[in-house]
Amino acid sequence: MEVCGTHTMAIARAGIKKILPEEVKLISGPGCPVCVTSQGDIDRAIELSRKKDVIIATFGDMMRVPGTKASLEEMRRHGSGVRVVYSCLDALDIAKKNPRKNVVFMGVGFETTSPTVAAAILRAKSEKVRNFFVLSNFKLIFPALEAISASKETNIDGFICPGHVSVITGSVPYEKVAKRYKKPCVITGFETIDILKGIERLIRQVKRKRHNVEIEYKRAVRKEGNRAARKILSSVFEAGNAEWRGLGVIKKSGLKIRKKYREFDAEKKFKLKSKTVPAPRGCVCGEILRGVKSPPDCKLFRKICTPQNPVGPCMVSSEGACAAYCKYNEDMTYATDRERKS
Amino acid sequence: MNTITLAHGSGGGLMHELVEKLRIKFSNRILDEMTDAAELNIKGARLAFSTDSYVVKPLFFPGGDIGKLAVFGTVNDVAMKGAKPLFISLALVIEEGLDFSILEKVTKSIMGASRRAGVKVVTGDIKVVEKGAADKLFINTSGIGVISRRGVRIGSKAKKRDVIIINGTVAEHGMAILNARENLKFLSEIKSDCANVNFQTERCLAASRNISVMRDPTRGGLATALSEIARASNLGIEIEEDRIPIKPKVKKMCDILGFDPLYVANEGKFISFVSGKDAKRVKKAIGKSARIIGEIVPGHKKEVYLKTALGPSRILPMLEYDQLPRIC
């Protein structure tokens, strides 16, 4: 199982599944930060965008994710203040340029992204920016890895571990998953050769009944990770319970803003409550994220749920499993490939 | 389709849908050919006529500016019809409050680009709109050229056994604009490939009478242009990932941001579909940077396949929405 949306896309783009032997199956896990954001969390941001004094700043990928009633893109078209940003610091800039508006950065992402948001909050504090807020939907990947490993739904033999998350976390946190659940973990880069090497290392471990943590992505990942980034992160955020699409509430798997920085917490400012909202009828994004189903198993896939008219986030996110299937037609073998095989 | 979204201008599938809705209303034999320029026959003279509007942000970027783009973009569209571009019109929509020095700078650039492309600005228009009604400056140019080579008939349909040649490296313009607009501060400056290609196309036409299609892969990138041609021709196209030329620093920037270079805009590139027997001659005529990247294949009608570096093939669909940088 890969647990990183960038790996999902890289695997699909290179056609890796088509060259693997039949005994090796790759399954996509909960690695796409947009896809794992719960319906309730998306609805909260959309409701917030209705307020006339609020500008929602978010990554482009979140714009088209369907909420229960609308998407952020639809809200923008109807006049809501919704802006696409490339980083949280862009949102802070917007706040400084619009002192009469409350600018809320809707944050999604894992350990790769959250330190930059922590840094933005620290900057906002030092520059006394009063109209900048963060709606944190950031998640920690390791509790999800444990939840998947503990589950009896799928029989995962090993994990292709996220390269960029691991730049921050280092390799040590994976050891718990490897030892307790006896699952080998290989931290892998994103070039085709990286992914193939990562798969090879996992197969070797499985055959030898080993369950170690290896770093294939040595050019970017060190065992100790990035201590400075983790220090900034933990100074601003603390772990709290979080709802994951498809996985439910996982303890200590989300990042909440610490009391010291509560003036930047959008949840506190706007008194937002978490609500569990059912997924759209027929949408099996949750099961896809758990690795129980693959996109073609979904009755809506390509029929009602398409890239132009997505029902669930796995289809609309640029790193979603359904988007990868659609874009790269992973389930199709072409005549040219059949000729080559024969 | 109830409202127009930004995606309708991205060069991809939604834009095609919108263009088709409008084309039907104006349908005629000339328009229905849907090439980059229209071919007009006026008392025996064959002319190519094209129009385009330029709304690029920022106005100035590494490798070019809106003025240069407005000249070369239209010159290239006319050249894609196998014509020699001669004259362009120039219409400016200026936002109230624009600094005159910016207008001067753009005008100077237009003059330089026109000289370089061998065209004259022969008519024009200026409108000034109130603040907020336009983003600093929009430009429209229309161009006209002469198709003088007998037997040359560049259309929208490729032929069986055609080979595909591109004149150089891809994805530079789109990445240069993104880097400049979003201030991404990549240390390695990427410059737009904004350039006129009309002299290269003239050399192509001198080298072969068997060129069926020429197209400049602007918005939507190379993949979208190929997809359009595959659909129009009712033929299959296969290209090879290893053969597509791309500068290493451009590829790296695409990798970092999660962009597929095949869908990134180009502004100084064109692809030509040439009979296999003339391919080497046309490639040589274009110049050292030209590459053969693929061919028309039997079967897989209306689709473009990419043979990946690893070996398997995958479909290259038309761009649906603008690409977005990955989050992590």
pLDDT, averaged across chain B: 93
Minimum distance, in Å, between the CA of residue B180 and any CA atom of chain A:
13
Confidence (pLDDT) at A49: 94
What's the pLDDT at B20? Answer: 87
Helices vs strands, H then E, count in chain A: 16, 9
Mean pLDDT score, B230-247 = 96
What band does B17 get if pLDDT is binned at 50, 70 and 90? confident
Question: Which residue ranges does chain B devote to CATH 3.30.1330.10?
Answer: 35-146
Six token digits for residue B180? 């400049």
User: How much is the average pLDDT of B14-23?
Assistant: 86
Interface predicted TM-score of the whole assembly (ipTM), two decimals: 0.83
B162-315 adopts what CATH topology? Phosphoribosyl-aminoimidazole Synthetase; Chain A, domain 2 (3.90.650)
CB contact under 8 A, B327 and A319: yes
The pTM score is: 0.89
CATH 3.90.650.10 in chain B, residue ranges:
162-315
Task: Collect all residues of chain B within an 8 Å Cβ-Cβ radius of residue A18.
Answer: 312
Q: Answer whether A61's CB lies under 8 Å from A87's CB.
A: no
Q: What is the pLDDT at residue A340?
A: 44
Please report, rounded to a whole number, the percentage of residues in chain A having pLDDT higher than 70: 96
Q: If you average pLDDT over every residue of chain A, what do you get?
A: 92
Please tell me the distance from the alpha carbon of residue B74 to that of residue B125, in angstroms, as a whole number. 17
Among the partner-chain residues B182, B255, B326, the one whose CB lies closest to the CB of A319 is: B326
Average pLDDT for A39-56? 93
Q: What is the CATH number of domain A5-29+159-215?
A: 3.40.50.11750
Q: Do A327 and B307 touch (CB under 8 A)?
A: no
Give contacts of A59 with chain B, Cβ < 8 Å.
Answer: 324-325, 327
- Cβ neighbours of residue B96 closer than 8 Å, sequence gap 6 or more: B128, B129, B130, B131, B133
pLDDT value of position B69: 98
Residues of A in contact with B327 (CB under 8 A): 5, 33-34, 59, 61, 108-109, 113, 319
With an 8 Å Cβ cutoff, are B328 and A112 in contact?
yes
pLDDT tens digits for range B121-157:
999 999 999 999 999 999 999 999 999 887 778 888 9
Residue A335, pLDDT above cutoff 60 = no
Q: Is the separation of the CB atoms in B10 and B219 below 8 Å?
A: yes
**Residue A341 pLDDT > 60, yes or no?**
no
Q: Is the pLDDT at B65 greater than 80, yes or no? A: yes
CA atoms within 13 A of residue A30's CA, in its CB half-sphere: 28
Q: CATH 3.40.50.11740: which residues of chain A?
A: 39-140+226-269
* CATH number of this structure's domain A39-140+226-269: 3.40.50.11740
pLDDT value, residue A331? 66
pLDDT category of residue A60 using cuts at 50, 70 and 90: confident
Task: Identify the CATH class of B35-146.
Answer: alpha beta
Chain A residues within 8 A of B320 when measuring between CB atoms: 307-308
